[in-house]
Amino acid sequence: MIDINLIRTNKELVKENIKKKFQEHKLELVDEVEKLDKEVRALKVEGDNLRASRNTLSAQIGALMKEKKIEEANKIKEQVKQNNDRISEIEKLVATLDEKIRNIMLTIPNIIDESVPIGKDDSENVEIQRYGEPNVPAFDIPYHADILDKFSSLDKDSAGRTSGNGFYYLMGDGARLVSAMISYARDFMIDKGFTYCIPPFMIRGDVVNGVMSFAEMDAMMYKIEGEDLYLIGTSEHSMIGKFKGQIINEKSLPITMTSYSPCFRKEVGAHGIEERGIYRVHQFEKQEMVVLCKPEESMEWYNKMWAFSVELFRSLNIPVRTLECCSGDLADLKVKSCDIEAWSPRQQKYFEVCSCSTLGDAQARRLAIRAKGENGTYYLHTLNNTVLASTRALIALLENNLQEDGSVLVPKPLQMYMGGKTVLKPTK
């Protein structure tokens, strides 16, 4: 949510930003907010004037009563009553209009960074840099579900009977490999100075509205029937929500956290749920990184965070590239975002495994998260990035470490979490 002062002082900037995001249908909302805001401010001025008048009249009533001028005092009392009635009416009107303004403001996109490339959708995202040489082996790489099947590690048929399409059972070495990667990702971030956290896996509606747009919520979140609770799609949601309504001492900044959670997603949209594999599913595990910092430090942390992901995946023998998200591919709250994509030897192309974003003060404004320093209070900037998402990281690891005989090399950082195993051998 942007600062309403931006609409008051530079609404053309807000409109130009909307155009850059190809959301022209929202242009009229800027004018509507401006109009409603003027009404609110006029009503507040009227209310302040009435309160000042009431105070003056109340003093006159006291003086008249002392002089026993009862009739004159009663006339003024009537005027005070009229003032009070109008003040009450104004307060109700202001509350209604404020709520209407807030609801509209929640749909107006955040101001994107000047460096963001302009484009309509993810097809116009821009490659920044590649890390590691993409490997194309001399032998064919099977589909990841078939690799897992050779290890007796994936059962989607049973999950279909218990839970439906989009769920899975991971077993044996496949399940152990996922646990190893999550543990390694956790320790990797702890070594970077981040505080480890396991957050609530359900959050209330006001927190959901604070961390994401309505469109994202409808496409992603599962709601618990009959309760004001949602299953989290990523632990960033509950990690940012942890600070809702708080004023944080500036001396404690930056706050850097790495959190583990299962993630639940409806995955509504054009991509759909994968029938055989685990690339796009309703449930997976994730290690996340979250930062709350001073506004002037957010871009520095943004660059640190995506670099951590690159370093982690390269340590697992997985070539990656960074991709700058264009304006039309940015969610409404995001200021700037990049994807980290892993190389797929089977498809001979890259696919997304991480997403790093800075959201400016948008989430902090929605959730009233502020810092207090020598110069007063201000809204913090929030950032998030995937350290490792279990299913996609597993696919990337299997494809890039598969050997011609069907075995899979265990990257050195994972061996201590795999009981010392250096290679996994198929059971079929």
Taking alpha carbons only, the member of 265, 255, 211 closest to residue 236 is 211
Alpha carbon of 242 to those of 203, 208, 254, 298, 380: distances in Å? 10, 12, 15, 19, 14
Look at residue 258 and tell me whether its pLDDT is greater than 90: yes
Average of per-residue pLDDT across 418-425: 96
This prediction has a pTM of: 0.90
Predicted pLDDT at 215: 75
CATH of domain 122-424: 3.30.930.10
Sort strands 195-197 and 169-170 into parallel, antiparallel or unpaired: unpaired
Look at residue 284 and tell me whether its pLDDT is greater than 80: yes
Provide the percentage of residues in the chain whose pLDDT is more than 90. Answer: 86
Of 212 and 65, the structure prediction assigns the larger pLDDT to: 212
Look at residue 64 and tell me whether its pLDDT is greater than 90: no
Find tokens 């309760």 and name the residue.
227
Average of per-residue pLDDT across 307-324: 98
**Burial status of residue 77 (CB atoms within 10 A of its CB: 0-12, 13-18, 19 or more):** middle
Taking alpha carbons only, the member of 128, 122, 185 closest to residue 303 is 128
What digits encode the pLDDT tens for the residues 344-391? 999 999 999 999 999 999 999 999 999 999 999 999 999 999 999 999
Look at residue 178 and tell me whether its pLDDT is greater than 80: yes
Give 271's pLDDT tier (boundaries 50, 70, 90).
Answer: low
Which residues are registered as beta bridge partners of 231? 202, 222
Q: Show me where the domains of the chain are located.
A: 4-105, 122-424
Provide the percentage of residues in the chain whose pLDDT is more than 70. Answer: 98
Cis geometry, peptide bond prior to residue 109 (ω within 30 degrees of 0): no
Give 58's pLDDT tier (boundaries 50, 70, 90).
Answer: confident
Predicted pLDDT at 55: 84
Average of per-residue pLDDT across 256-269: 90
Distance CA 335, CA 356 (A): 11
Residue type, 423: V
* Torsion angles phi and psi, residue 427, rounded to 5: -95, -15
Question: Looking at domain 4-105, what is its CATH homologous superfamily?
Answer: Serine-tRNA synthetase, tRNA binding domain (1.10.287.40)
Predicted pLDDT at 78: 85
